[in-house]
Chain A
Amino acid sequence: MIRFENVDKWFGTLQVLADVSGEVRRGEVKVLVGPSGSGKSTLIRTVTRLEKIQSGRVSVDGADVAARGLDINRLRQRIGFVFQAYNLFPHLTALGNITLGLTKLRGLSKAAARERAMEELARVGLTGKAHEMPGLLSGGQRQRVAIARSLAMDPEVMLFDEPTSALDPEMVGEVLAAMKRLAAGGMTMICVTHEVGFAREVADEIWFMQAGRVIERGRPAELGDKATHPRLGAFLRKVEQSLGS
């Protein structure tokens, strides 16, 4: 469904993606790990053209996302994006954050949009916070609203960029739980996360990035195998230790 072919990306003279290839099939969950600055965020941002690439090809269902004729906004509606910093609209209530896309893009009436938004809020357990401003929500609650906002658009794919990294440890669980439910429901997902437990549990494959390249890929079950995945295994163990998890 999503395919990267020999993707190169530079910021000025700095190459941040180098010959990245890979495929995410419908219903698969890929987890991206790697040291800071290795290009994980940049890679998933290329999928909805938040970042343009200089060479190679990124395609969704066979369609090149850089193609001139492509309706990029239509594509973005099909692909949810969850940010580390939530990026909720601070001037709108939790509900307003979710209804905006529904009324502006889906052409739903106000009432229908509210109803749909309430369903999504219920799914992430935040029915009671519908009329709260984002500033008054906890980090975990904000991220769940952000997830609900994306899901309300009925995306076929969800991209997560370190959705729990800005959260206090006690709130990580509630966000991961929402993501696990999504994965269990068959959602196609690419998650940048260092939550090793989550990766082991739901990832079909883990991609390890370093200096703009995907240098190792492995199924969670194979991670103990030091012969085939020496660097990925070592990285994950280090992450686990530093988080004490």
Chain B
Amino acid sequence: MLEILQNNWLLFLVGQYPHGPIGGLAMTLFMASISLALCFPFAIGLALARLSPYRWLRLPATAIVHTVRGLPLIMFIFWTYFFSPLVIGRAVGGVETLVIALVIYEAAYLSEIIRAGIEGLPKGQVEAATSLGLRYWPTTIKVVLPQALHNMLPSMVSQFVSTIKETSLGYVISAHELTFAAAQVNNVLLTQPFEVYGILALTYFALCFALTSLARFIERRISGDRGGTPGVTIAA
């Protein structure tokens, strides 16, 4: 196992870069981060729409969230893979495909986290802002979201962990990420799949375990520093 790692660590870490496209762990982290960052505005929009007093906003948002959550991620990957070339008019790479699919998929999940964060705020917060005379948007931007997002930080880290694991599905559309790198190594060595995929598993585990621990740490910090309002973690 060590020998495999010694000979292939660069491939695991950054793929074929600088001789080919960047890949490996670097690409996995990049895709997970960029997806989560890009889906953020959509997630906030969906969460606010679901909590809206207006039916014409609430119903479509609710429908979108339920639909997305009711389908496996691989569906979105296939759809993006086969449909986006038709829409855009050119072939779309594996990485872009995966990021688009992840943004749609994660937006639905993240919106539920944000919604829970907003609903978890004491009613008095909005009432106090309202009583000052603040309208919906200033109240939302200055009072509601900063607190909701802060409280939901642990859940967002957990969501990042799920996203990291989900990027491994990029393998099926040849997105050059960590699992793809492992498969390449395996194809070269041919005889040591246990070891190769063992390394892969350990890498994912170490990364995700570290992040999950971070989430727990943040959660303790949050429930400490705001006088007891606990950060609610939604299991990823």
Contact = CB atoms under 8 A, between A and B. Distances in A.
B3 interface: no
Interface residues of A, number: 26
Given A135-B226, A135-B227, A85 B132 contact: no
Size class of the contact patch on chain B: 20 to 34
Contacts of B146: 91
Interface string A149-174: 11001000000000000000000000
A83 interface: yes
Interface stretch (A97-105, A124-132, A209-217, A234-242): A97-105
A83 B129 CA distance: 12
Nearest to A80: B131
Contacts of B226: 90, 135
B124 A85 contact: yes
B147 interface: yes
A153 B147 contact: no
Interface in A99-117: 100-101, 104-105
A77 interface: yes
A83 B128 contact: yes
Contacts, number: 65
Interface string A46-88: 0010100000000000000000000001111101110101011
A198 interface: no
Nearest to A77: B133
A138 to B, nearest CB: 12
Interface string B142-155: 11001100100000
Contact of A100 (B131, B132, B135, B147): B132
B93 interface: no
Given A90-B226, A135-B227, A101 B133 contact: yes
Given A83-B127, A91-B150, A101 B227 contact: no
B134 A87 contact: no
B213 interface: no
B203 interface: no
Contacts of A81: 127-128, 131
Interface string B130-142: 1111110010001
B132 to A, nearest CB: 4
Interface of B: 122, 124-125, 127-135, 138, 142-143, 146-147, 150, 225-227, 229
8 contacts: A81-B128, A83-B128, A89-B125, A89-B143, A91-B146, A100-B132, A100-B134, A153-B132
